[in-house]
Structure 1
Amino acid sequence: MADIHASARPRTNAARICTIIAFVFAALAIFLSPLIFGVLGLILGIVGAVLGDKPLGWYAAAASVVGAIIGAVLVAALLN
């Protein structure tokens, strides 16, 4: 019987580091710069997921997008 996870990449330390930094950037996107940290968090989350930290890498990418949206809404509310 073939192993269905044989083609899945094993999680590396680099994948976990990218995922953790992506979550940090998601939080920074809310408070500092939504565009910069949101995009960087999205990229690092995807890289973490591709390197094998699934599904946490995808969650980090999604959290970065949500953080960027919340940050942009807060900036718009503060400027008006």
Structure 2
Amino acid sequence: MADMHATARPRSNAARICTILAFVFAVVAIFVAPLLFGIAGLVLGIVGAVLGDKPLGWYAAAASVVGAIIGMALVAALLN
């Protein structure tokens, strides 16, 4: 019998925790320290995707980048 999970890693709790934290950091990046939380969310999203939470981890990484961009735009608008 062939191994069904030879190419895909099974999702672990660590992967799901990293993905959830990445989404939380994406939202926090809009309001508080966009560069810091955006990069942290990006890294956690990638780690979550690599650990097995494939589509959601990549979405979290992208959301963190978008959150950081929106946060930086908001800061620039408020300072001008």
Q: Which runs of 5+ in 1 are unaligned?
A: none
Quote the offset at 1:7 in angstroms: 1.2
| 1:33-72 equivalences in 2 (<5 Å) | 33-72=33-72
1:45 maps to a residue whose letter is G
TM-score (norm 2): 0.94
- The percent of aligned pairs where both chains have the same amino acid is 82
SS at match of 1:55: helix
After TM superposition, what 4+ stretches of structure 1 lie above 2 angstroms from structure 2?
A: 2-6
Question: Number of paired residues?
Answer: 80
- Identify the residue that residue 28 of structure 2 maps to in structure 1: 28
SS at match of 2:9: coil
Quote the offset at 1:3 in angstroms: 6.7
Quote the offset at 1:6 in angstroms: 2.5
1:48 maps to a residue whose letter is G
TM-score (norm 1): 0.94
Aligned mates of 1:55, 1:4 — CA distance in 2: 19
Aligned Cα root-mean-square deviation (Å): 1.5
